[in-house]
Amino acid sequence: MTLRIELQPKLDLRAANSLVDALRHAAGADVILDASKVSHLGTLCLQALIAAAKDHKTEGTKFVLERASDTFINHLAIFGFSIETFAEDAA
């Protein structure tokens, strides 16, 4: 089963709980994240995404980030990460 999750535009402290809930719900399934509308990426949501990517790698399920907005990519770079952080080989 593959679940699609559209990330909220503002991934800040307020969005962290709902993001974590969505990622927990997706445990055990292949996940495709749509980051096309992200206009802000905060540290807690970034931590949740990285942890989920690592969990999926451990479980052997896919965790794919697609259609990342320029802002999402730029915010990753500010934190010292890149889109490759979420690649299956890098997670």
- What pLDDT does residue 90 have? 47
Q: How far is CA 50 from CA 57, 59, 64, in A?
A: 11, 14, 12
**pTM score over 0.75:** yes
- 52 or 87, which is more confident? 52
- 91, part of any domain: no
- What pLDDT does residue 85 have? 83
Amino acid identity, position 3: L
DSSP 7-44: PPSEESHHHHHHHHHHHHHTTTSEEEEE-TT--EE-HH
Helix axes 13-25, 43-59, angle to 10 degrees: 10
Q: How far apart are alpha carbons 19 and 21 in whole angstroms?
A: 5
Q: How confident is the model at residue 91 (pLDDT cuts 50, 70, 90)?
A: very low
| Per-residue tokens: 26 | 């997706």
- What pLDDT does residue 88 have? 58
Q: Which structural domain, as residue segments, surrounds residue 56?
A: 2-86
pLDDT tens-digit readout, 17-76 = 999 999 999 999 999 999 999 999 999 999 999 999 999 999 999 999 999 999 999 999
Residues 34 and 7 sit within 8 Å (Cβ to Cβ): yes
- Number of domains, the chain: 1
- What pLDDT does residue 86 have? 76
- What pLDDT does residue 84 have? 86
CATH number, residue 32: 3.30.750.24
